[in-house]
């Protein structure tokens, strides 16, 4: 679709439905990415609207995008009244959500994801990969994606810390792909990497740096989770 042509036509009053849809999408994207107080106000109001609307199998992509904003203030109001780990239970597992989840992981540094967002994503990933073979058939997770999940393990916390427990459970499910009769080399390799990350976490003589590169494990100096709205309305 030639959006420049649509823009040129709009300047002389020829407004198409495609152009209006483009403007709506661009505006919402700018709100999700905004770092200004005015943008934070709009983002919080949008999240509040989505919370009241309610997530469903028809509109869930809007909620995935909001979770990916990593803005704690918007995500808090989005999830208000919900248990994060079960937030996506109303949606059948599908490749779009898994791919979006790993894309969000890849964009953030190892200490940069908002806890509630991570809890939502972990709950969903465990649901997908608890039956490892079916999960892999739905979405064949890669080694780089496994690394982007494993980097969020907090080595200063024990294995029963809820976020570590959730990550380890998903990694364990992926590691189960390596069965004695498995012939798919990609599947066995990704399973082995998930197993290595778990082993390095559990072995007090080793660290995650043995299985994940320092670049991936890099931490943000001052992790930010969005700016607050200027005013919160009840």
Question: For the segment 64-117, what is each residue's pLDDT rounded down to a tens digit?
Answer: 999 999 999 999 999 999 999 999 999 999 999 999 999 999 999 999 999 999
Residue 178 lies in a domain: yes
Lowest mean pLDDT among 5-14, 119-128, 157-166: 5-14
Pair (129, 40) in one structural domain:
no
Kindly calculate the radius of gyration of the chain based on its CA atoms and give it in whole angstroms: 20
Q: Residues 125, 208: one domain?
A: yes
Q: What are the distances in angstroms from CA 87 to CA 51, 67, 115, 121, 134?
A: 11, 11, 14, 9, 21
Q: Which of 51, 83, 115 is the last residue of a domain?
A: 83
Residue 9 lies in a domain: no
- Domain check: are 72 and 173 in the same one? no
pLDDT of residue 233: 56
Structural domain of residue 47, as residue ranges?
17-83
pLDDT the model gives residue 81: 96
Using one digit for the tens of pLDDT, what is the confidence trace for 170-188? 999 999 999 988 899 999 9
Q: Which residue's structure tokens are 């197993």?
A: 195
Q: What are phi and psi of 51, to 5 degrees?
A: -60, -45
Q: Is 72 exposed, middle or buried, given 0-12, 13-18 or 19+ CB atoms closer than 10 A?
A: middle
The answer to whether residues 143 and 105 belong to one domain is yes
Q: Is residue 4 one of the residues assigned to a domain?
A: no
Nearest Cα neighbor of 59 from 93, 90, 25 is 90
pLDDT averaged over every residue in the chain: 90
């Amino acid at each position: 679709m030639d959006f420049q042509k649509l823009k040129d036509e709009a300047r002389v009053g020829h407004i198409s439905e495609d152009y209006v849809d483009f403007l709506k999408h661009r505006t919402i994207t700018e709100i999700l990415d905004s770092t200004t107080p005015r943008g934070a106000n709009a983002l919080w109001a949008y999240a509040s609207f989505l919370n009241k609307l309610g997530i469903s199998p028809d509109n869930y992509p809007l909620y995935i995008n909001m979770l990916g904003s990593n803005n704690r203030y918007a995500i808090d109001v989005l999830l208000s009244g919900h248990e994060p780990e079960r937030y996506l239970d109303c949606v059948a597992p599908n490749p779009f959500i898994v791919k979006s989840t790993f894309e969000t992981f890849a964009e953030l540094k190892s200490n940069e994801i908002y806890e509630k967002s991570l809890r939502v994503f972990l709950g969903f990933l465990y649901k997908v990969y608890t039956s490892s073979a079916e999960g892999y058939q739905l979405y064949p997770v890669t080694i780089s994606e496994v690394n982007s999940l494993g980097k969020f393990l907090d080595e200063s916390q024990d294995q029963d810390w809820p976020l570590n427990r959730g990550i380890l459970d998903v990694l364990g499910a992926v590691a189960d792909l390596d069965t004695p009769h498995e012939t798919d080399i990609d599947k066995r390799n990704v399973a082995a990497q998930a197993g290595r990350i778990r082993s390095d976490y559990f072995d007090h003589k080793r660290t995650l740096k043995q299985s994940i590169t320092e670049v991936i494990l890099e931490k943000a100096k001052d992790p930010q989770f969005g700016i607050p709205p200027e005013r919160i309305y009840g």
